[in-house]
Structure 1
Amino acid sequence: MTDIFDVIADGTRRDILQLLLRRAEEGDAGTSVGQIVAELGISQPTVSKHLKVLREAELVNVREDGQRRFYSLSVEPLSVVDDWLVPFLVDAYGDAAPDIAYLSQPLPDSAAHAAEVVGRAAASAKHVVANAFKRLGG
């Protein structure tokens, strides 16, 4: 299975996930590739490439209607990220940990950059630990 941190480390994929979340909140049953291209202003081949990665990570569901495909968000795989992140919030805040509200608006550039850095760091740390275990024979 694809490492979820590697998948969400990419800013374009996070933008697609946020778009699908926003569209779901608006009641859409699915979003076409063309709609994603139009809303995010990126090329169709780029969107298709990122949707393939998101499908493989099971972060999106696809529904076919003739020649068109409609994508919707599947949040279950993000529980791994939640499980990883919660101990840090508990350590930082204790019982005073804030409630986490899901964003329906795109992140500001500085926050998106910070999220990308954290995602890349988590993916890198996983890679280092996995390699260490391999060297130890585990």
Structure 2
Amino acid sequence: MADIFAVIADPTRRELLRLLLDRRPDGGESSVGELVTALGLSQPTVSKHLRVLRDAGLVHVREEGQHRFYSVDEEPLSEVSTWLAPFLGVVETAPQDARDLASLPPWTSPVPVPAPLRRAAENLPAAGDVGTSLGRAVAQAQSRILDPVKKRLGRADHP
């Protein structure tokens, strides 16, 4: 299992897995070309990452002529999810049904979650950092641009 963590530590490979998971309701396969287009990376780079995912048993490959089609193998991801469950702090006071639903990994959810919503939820912890950076940038712009103009016009804010 340690190998799986090393494999999914790479952000490009996580994005590849996410793209393949998003395709699951539509048949679950994506060609290398589709993945190259979606990621905006070169074909050799995407193929290298797909080979690492395949060697780790995280994806299946189907060859059709010179084309390769990839899909997610959910079994290793379920094992990782099961192993991580005790560390995620499932609330013990919740009704059993709620705990069961909360413990489902996203790739086994009975209701497909739209990709933009899943990405937003996964990136939500970073939203605070983005908000802080944005707030600082606005404050710096105000002190650098607006405050001198207000001062010249005699409209400086008085505390």
Q: TM-score, normalised by structure 2?
A: 0.60
Residue from 103, 107, 111 that aligns with 2:119:
107
Unaligned runs of 5+ in 1: 114-138
CA displacement at 1:22 relative to structure 2 = 0.9
Change over 3 Å in CA distance of 1:15–1:111 after alignment to 2: farther
Identity %: 52
CA displacement at 1:104 relative to structure 2 = 4.5
2:11 match: 11
| Deviant stretches of 4+, over 3 Å | 108-113
1:49 match: 48
Would the aligned equivalents of 1:2 and 1:57 in 2 still touch at CA under 8 Å?
A: no
- Alignment of 1:32 with 2:31, yes or no, is yes
Which structure has more RCO (C-alpha within 8 Å, separation ≥ 6)?
1
Name the amino acid aligned to 2:31. S
Name the amino acid aligned to 2:119. L
Change over 3 Å in CA distance of 1:45–1:111 after alignment to 2: farther
Name the amino acid aligned to 1:36. L
CA displacement at 1:112 relative to structure 2 = 8.5
Change over 3 Å in CA distance of 1:58–1:111 after alignment to 2: farther
CA displacement at 1:83 relative to structure 2 = 2.2
Greater shift after overlay, 50-59 or 104-113?
104-113
Residue from 72, 91, 94 that aligns with 1:93:
91
Paired residues, what number? 111
Distance 1:112 1:34 in 2: 32
Would the aligned equivalents of 2:81 and 2:105 in 1 still touch at CA under 8 Å?
A: no
CA displacement at 1:80 relative to structure 2 = 2.8
Change over 3 Å in CA distance of 1:111–1:47 after alignment to 2: farther
Change over 3 Å in CA distance of 1:104–1:73 after alignment to 2: farther
